[in-house]
Amino acid sequence: MKTRGLGEGGSLTGTGYHLFEPKMSLNSPTLLNQESHRGFKKKIECLKNPESQTTSSLQDNPLQNLQIASHEVLEKAQKSGRSKCPKCGSSRMFYCYSCYVPVETVPTKQIPVVKLPLKIDIIKHPNENDGKSTAVHAKLLAAEDVMIYTYPCIPEYEEKRHEMVLIFPGPNSISLKDLGLHLQRNTKKNVRGEDDDSTAEPLLKQARIESEQQNINECKANKSEGTGLKKIIFIDSTWNQTNKIITDERLQGLLQIELKTRKTCFWRHQKGKPDTYLSTIEAIYYFLVDYHQEVLKEKYKGQYDNLLFFYSFMYTLIKNARSSTRKE
């Protein structure tokens, strides 16, 4: 994806982050008239494998083949209407986007838990409306592996930047398939920076080289650690607001990746932007799927599909509502 956007308000997930996720009311008829029938037909082409683009069933619901937990709990909650957040008491539908917890009518035990191979930091612009963002989905479903920070309150990444990548488009960004090579180079540079000592004896230098080689061999034996990658950083912001975040000195020097090949299914895709601009949750999901296959070299068996648990339910709900409106 050429990442040209970041978060939900527009996700900047590469050419793939969709930058606009306006606030949605699932019960509002206004929502159904926001996009033309033609625009919606284009969106249902996303999330399909190239080989299956002619399959009519996937055209009806491109998310149907994902291994996603039952939506029964969300269906019941939708019929009940808005409910209270157990933490702050606010009235919400399905979950509280401020506290990152399900509402009272959505038992936590009935929400899937997704274990991720990497830690994820999401940096949200302070003006971004939490109610618009699908980034919250990631925190709800993979709470142990996801952190959401509101800019400018973000971590210092400098010391560990050789273990991280930033998903964002740019002139120096790379594709995921080249990730391993670039991380190896960055790791070697970091090791040299920490260990290089011009006064050390040759034998000590040789010992360090042998130790580094041993570490590399050990990593090769474990695919999940082979790249040295530990954290992925996403930006959740509208396109117009991203410059302040991406130019922050704390993000400088991070390896950048573009997601170039995926298409969005988001029902509020930013007008005038290509369909490779993904929502934040789509960007996270697609990165992990591609990472699993391209970097870990393992067969993907739906391990991260439940990251789209809320997203796929909302997609189907809106699609069905639009169909009913057209029939009327």
- CATH number at 234 reads 3.40.1280
* Average pLDDT along the chain: 76
- Which single residue is written with the structure tokens 């082409």? 45
Indicate whether 310 pLDDT > 60: yes
31 assigned to some structural domain: no
Indicate whether 234 pLDDT > 80: yes
How confident is the model over 284-293, as pLDDT tens digits? 999 999 999 9
Query: Given CA atoms 48, 51, 52, 54 in this order, what sign does their dihedral have?
Result: positive
In a shared domain, residues 102 and 122: no
Indicate whether 148 pLDDT > 50: yes
For the purposes of burial, counting CB atoms within 10 Å of the CB of 242, is it exposed (0-12), middle (13-18) or buried (19 or more)?
A: buried
Distance CA 27, CA 29 (A): 7
In a shared domain, residues 251 and 318: yes
Indicate whether 75 pLDDT > 80: yes
For residue 264, the enclosing domain spans 112-183+226-327
In a shared domain, residues 244 and 99: no
158 assigned to some structural domain: yes
Indicate whether 35 pLDDT > 80: no
In a shared domain, residues 89 and 173: no
In a shared domain, residues 104 and 124: no
Residue 220 or 291, more confident: 291
Contact at 8 Å (CB) between 166 and 251? yes
Q: Are strands 95-96 and 101-102 parallel, antiparallel or unpaired?
A: antiparallel
301 assigned to some structural domain: yes
